[in-house]
Amino acid sequence: MSTTTEGKRHRIGYALAPKKVQSFIQPSLINHASSHNIDLIPINPSESLIEQGPFDSIIHKLYGTDWKKQLEKFSLQYPNVPIIDSPEAIERLHNRISMLEVVNRLKIPKRSEILEVPKQVVVLDSENLKENGLVGELGFPLVAKPLVADGSATSHKMYQIFDTDGLQRLDAPIILQDFVNHGGVIFKIYVAGDYVQCVKRKSLPDISREKLATLKGSLSFSQISNLNAREKSKGGQDDVVDLEKVEMPPLGFVEEIARAMREETGLSLFNFDVIRDAKVGNRYLVIDINYFPGYAKMPNYESVLTDFFLDLVRNKERELIAGSIEDGEQASNTGGEQKGNND
C-alpha cells in the first residue's frame, strides 16, 4: 500500500482514557501504523492541546467541559485538522432514546431485509416501576437498560426481567425493551470511516413460553452468562450455539446500514449491535450503538485502523490542495479585474 506523501510521516494524536489506551493502542497497531508512515502520538488532556501539536488528525474518547473547550480552541487555530469525532455527535449516543431514534431516521434503499428497533418504554420515575400496567404493549421477558449510555460501569448494568416482581429491583431512569428471541447470537458491526466489518458473538439464549413460566424476578446479564457457563460445563444446554454454523447478515445490507448511520450521526468511529429475529428470518433489530468501541476485538484491526488513518491524511491533503487551487484562481481573477480597472 502506498502512503500519501512518500517519506513524509504523519502524526495522529490520540486522547483516550488509560484503560482505552491499554486496549486500543497495542504494539501491533503502533508498529503497523508506523510501517505506513503513521505515528500515533499520545495527548495529555490536562495540558494545552495546541502546544502538543502539530497533528494531522486527532482521535479521542474523552468527555467533559474542559476537554470540549480544548477541542474548540484547537479547531479555531487549526480548522483543517480533522477531529474524530465532534463531541456533539458523540453525545447523541449517550442517551438510549436519541441513540435508537437514529435507526428510525436512516435512509436505506428498499430490500427484502427489514430493519427495526425493539419496542420500548422509557421509565423516568422509579415509582412507576411498581405499576403493573407500565409495560404497555410490551410483554415479558423484557430487557432493562440504563437510560445513560456513556461507557461507564453503571451504563452497562443490564437485566433480563421475567415478571412484574423483577421490575422492583430497577432504578429509574431506565429503558425497558421487548426481548426478541434471536438464536443466542448477536452481530457486532464495526465501522471506521469507509471500513465495515461484521463479527458474530454469543448472546442471551432464547426463552420459550414454557421456560418463561419457570423463571421468576430478574437476572443481570452477568448472572445469565455465568449460569450458561455452568450449564455448559455440566454437559447441559442442548441448544448451545455453534457460531461457525450461524449465517451472517447480507454484507450489502450491513454496509448500507453503516453508510446511512455515518450520514445520520456524522460519526466515523462506532459500532452497532444487531440481532436477527428467530421467528422472522429477514427481520433485524438494532439494539445498541457505541462510540469508539473495542476495535482490538475485531479481526485484523491493525490494518483497518491504519487504512482509516491514511484516509484521514489523504482527505486532509486533498482538501488543502483544492483550497490552494481555489485561492489561486480567486487571486488570479482579482488580479485580472484590477488590471482591467487600471486600464
What residues pair up with 39 in beta bridges, in sequence order? 11
* Residue 7 labelled as part of a binding site: no
* Residue 178 labelled as part of a binding site: yes
The strand pair at 185-192 and 174-178 is best described as unpaired
* Residue 203 labelled as part of a binding site: yes
* Residue 226 labelled as part of a binding site: no
Residue in the block written with cell 425493551:
177
Q: What is the DSSP letter of 205?
A: P
* Residue 182 labelled as part of a binding site: yes
* Residue 61 labelled as part of a binding site: yes
C-alpha to C-alpha distance for 231 and 240, rounded to whole angstroms? 10
What are the phi and psi torsion angles at 252 (to 5°)? -60, -40
117-to-104, 138, 148, 153 alpha-carbon distances in Å: 8, 13, 17, 24
* Residue 185 labelled as part of a binding site: yes
Q: How far is CA 45 from the centre of its chain?
A: 22
* Residue 193 labelled as part of a binding site: no
C-alpha to C-alpha distance for 14 and 66, rounded to whole angstroms? 16
Residue in the block written with cell 500519501:
4
* Residue 84 labelled as part of a binding site: no
* Residue 181 labelled as part of a binding site: yes
- The answer for residues whose C-beta is within 8 angstroms of residue 270's C-beta and 6 or more apart is 93, 191, 261, 289, 290, 291, 292, 293
C-alpha to C-alpha distance for 318 and 148, rounded to whole angstroms? 39
Do the Cβ atoms of 175 and 135 come closer than 8 Å? no
C-alpha to C-alpha distance for 182 and 187, rounded to whole angstroms? 10
* Residue 254 labelled as part of a binding site: no
Residue in the block written with cell 476495535:
295
* Residue 179 labelled as part of a binding site: yes
* Residue 41 labelled as part of a binding site: no
What residues pair up with 57 in beta bridges, in sequence order? 12
* Residue 96 labelled as part of a binding site: yes
* Residue 32 labelled as part of a binding site: no
Among 329, 299, 338, residue whose Cα is nearest residue 190: 299
* Residue 186 labelled as part of a binding site: yes
What are the phi and psi torsion angles at 86 (to 5°)? -70, 140
Q: Which residues are annotated as a binding site for Mg(2+)?
A: 273, 288, 290
Q: Which residues are annotated as a binding site?
A: 20, 61, 96, 145, 156, 177-188, 203, 273, 288, 290, 294
Q: Which residues are annotated as a binding site for ATP?
A: 96, 145, 177-188, 203
Q: Which residues are annotated as a binding site for 1D-myo-inositol 1,3,4-trisphosphate?
A: 20, 61, 156, 188, 290, 294
